[in-house]
Chain A
Amino acid sequence: MTDPVVATIVIGYFILSFIIGIIGVRKIKTSEHYFGATRLFGPFMMGIASCAAVMSGFGFIGGPGMVYKLGATSLWITLTAPFGFAFGFWMLGKRLRLMAEVRPIGSLPDVVYYRYKSNAARALLALSLLLGVVAYLGTQVLSGGIVVAGLLGVSLEVGILLAFGVVLAYTAIGGMVASILTDFFQGLIMIIAGIAALILVLGMTGGTEGLFTTVGQQMDPKLIDPLGKGTWMLALCWWWVFSLTNCSQPHQTTKFYTLKNWKDLKVGAVVSGLGYMLTSLLWIFVGYAALWLVAKGFVPPLERPDDAAIAVVTHLPVWMAGLLYAGLLAAIMSTASGFIAIASAAVARDLTKAFGKELDQKRQIFWGRIVTVVITILALIFGYYGGYMVLILGTLGWGYFASAIFPVFVIGLNWKRATREGAVASLAVALVANIAFLILEKGLGFTMPYGIPSYVISIMASILTLIFVSFVTKGATEEELDPDIKAIMEI
């Protein structure tokens, strides 16, 4: 059984998350509210929810673990925040927000349909989102369950049911509205945890001087240089991908049309970027603090890099451990709830529309709730029993979504010459390339040279497909665009 203070904080966190999520149900008047939280929130809520959704459990455990293992290499991911978040606002903010003024947007496939007038593109994106979301959720099931089981001294199964039961309950009832409200609360916890980690770690190590000098002199100078132990191609590929495609993650792209007022875009950009920058302090400083503890002989070298955060927490005040664990759960649950809401919309709204079946508002919400329950249970079963398949499909993460969403949204909403054929081809290439790399790497043992992540090639391929297919085709370009959509793209 864990420390009672930590257990109390974690249980309190669960209860608060549930209550906050349920409060959201009052805001739901239409199916667009349920599936997309369209035009419901102010910039602080949207901005903090945005950074919480993007910072997954990986940032709290995997991030420090990668710093412990590789030094600065993984920082080329998290340090893209001041570019990546604002980049989305520059490229997509006004276009998606204005579209919500004149069209009933409740999901990303809705936007694709209005832009490209293609049910094939709508269905393909919905299917891509569904596959990616279930695969991602599957990877979170065991990690979420292990954290809760360890914290509360319960079995793994009970841990899984507690963590995902709470998420399921508030997401089924409140949809995307509940997801954003809880993301906001969870984002605040993450930001406080990030700032607290910085202060406590620097207090423990004697400031940055003591921290970096000790690690560089007593362990390995490579750990404190700007590259670390990875390759330059890996670091720079990460830099390019995470700067470019932050806005192409479904749980991030959907946030632009949740703003109540178009003027809120201004503050939203600053809040989301700054929020993530603060949470990433934990990734950086907890990772280096673990190296410092080993260098000083306070802990033995870690067998698993992912134990870095836990090793540091045991040397910090107990309330910080509670905060960190609550932050970790917040990171897992906030990303999960956003994904569940997106998957629910993909099935109950987008696939039905793509196949010509339009449900009325009430029935959409009713079926949205049913689908939320079904998808979450499927993800739990897949995550618990999936074994090796979970590990394989779990790699369909960031790069998979980026290669599907970036071309059709970021390019397509800024370029009137982007065609329907280009969009469908690009979505198909994204799906095929990612699955092909998955088979090549996990099934046949193929590895990309120089540390290049394979999804970088998938993203490049889908971008090139959209651009060059659009140059030689004509569907849904200038003359075919609806006047309001054309105006949104010209403004």
Chain B
Amino acid sequence: MPWTKIDRILLVQGVITLLLAVTALTNAYKAFGYLALLNLSIWLVLATSTKNVKYGIAVGGATFVVSSICLSLIFYYWELYKGVFPDFTILGMHPGFFVLFPTWWLLLFVLVTLMYPLLFEKAVLSEEDVKKFEEKYKEQNLGGV
């Protein structure tokens, strides 16, 4: 069977999952964190691979870049103020905490949640896709309710 792009994505995800296990069991937490972000972002690419993969790459890529920056800032501020009250706070919050909540939290809402309806027609499912599907398969209905 010839290899498709989805087969290759799955192979990469398999390898990343193995690396996640190795980094977890060796307590390489920073490597685990970035690999986890990569893993999650690649699933988003896979989600659009049958429709319009460039949107998946855009959403997955942006999610990976933004999340990596947030995670790096969290690690940085955590190490900087480890065990002490920080020199500066944002709205009273530890700067690393402020990156985790609400910054990253809200950015992910925009990047992953809001992008879904905004890119729906182009990246997920269009009226035309459904029309073609229904014309072909709804008549041979195998029992759909």
Contacts and interface: CB of A to CB of B under 8 A. Distances in A.
Interface of A: 30, 32-33, 38-39, 72, 75-76, 79, 82-83, 85-87, 89-91, 93-94, 98, 100-105, 207-213, 216-217, 221-222, 224-227, 231-233, 236-237, 239-240, 243-244, 262, 265-267, 269-270, 273-274, 277, 284, 410-411, 414-417, 449-450, 452, 456-457, 460, 463-464, 467-468, 470-471, 477-478, 482-484, 487-491
Given A82-B105, A226-B96, A284-B101, A30 B47 contact: no
Interface in B3-47: 4, 6-7, 10-11, 13-14, 17-18, 20-21, 24-25, 27, 29-30, 32-33, 36, 39-40, 43-44, 46-47
Given A224-B97, A226-B78, A262 B113 contact: no
A208 B143 CA distance: 55
A213 B134 contact: no
A221 B43 contact: no
B24 A82 contact: no
B32 A269 contact: no
A86 B113 contact: yes
A210 to B, nearest CB: 7
| SS of A interface (majority) | helix
Contacts of A85: 113
Interface residues of B, number: 77
Contacts of A415: 6-7, 10, 46
A201 to B, nearest CB: 13
Nearest to B6: A415
Given A90-B47, A267-B117, A270-B113, A467 B141 contact: no
Given A269-B116, A452-B24, A210 B109 contact: no
B116 A468 contact: no
Given A208-B92, A227-B78, A491-B133, A91 B47 contact: yes
Contacts, number: 234
A360 to B, nearest CB: 13
10 contacts: A82-B105, A87-B44, A91-B43, A212-B93, A212-B94, A240-B20, A266-B120, A270-B113, A452-B24, A460-B21
B53 interface: no
Interface string B51-65: 100000000000100
A90 B101 CA distance: 24
Interface in B44-102: 44, 46-51, 63, 74, 77-78, 81-86, 89, 91-94, 96-97, 99-101
B113 A273 contact: yes
A95 B144 CA distance: 14
Contacts of B137: 101-102, 483-484, 487
Contact of A208 (B10, B93, B115): B93
Given A226-B78, A244-B40, A208 B113 contact: no
B101 A79 contact: yes
A94 B125 contact: yes
Contacts of A411: 10
Nearest to A244: B40
Contacts of A225: 77-78, 81-82, 94, 96-97
A450 B141 contact: no
Nearest to B81: A225
B122 interface: no
A212 B10 contact: no
Given A98-B130, A463-B17, 19 more contacts: A90-B124, A102-B137, A102-B144, A103-B143, A209-B91, A211-B92, A212-B97, A227-B78, A237-B32, A266-B117, A284-B101, A414-B46, A414-B50, A417-B6, A452-B25, A464-B18, A470-B10, A488-B133, A491-B50
A292 B116 CA distance: 38
Nearest to A71: B97
B113 A236 contact: no
Contacts of B143: 103-104
Contacts of B1: 417, 477-478
A232 B44 CA distance: 25
B116 to A, nearest CB: 4
Interface in B102-145: 104-106, 108-109, 112-117, 120, 124-125, 129-130, 133-134, 136-138, 140-145
- Residue of B84, B99, B108, B114 contacting most chain A CB atoms (<10 Å): B108
A32 B83 CA distance: 55
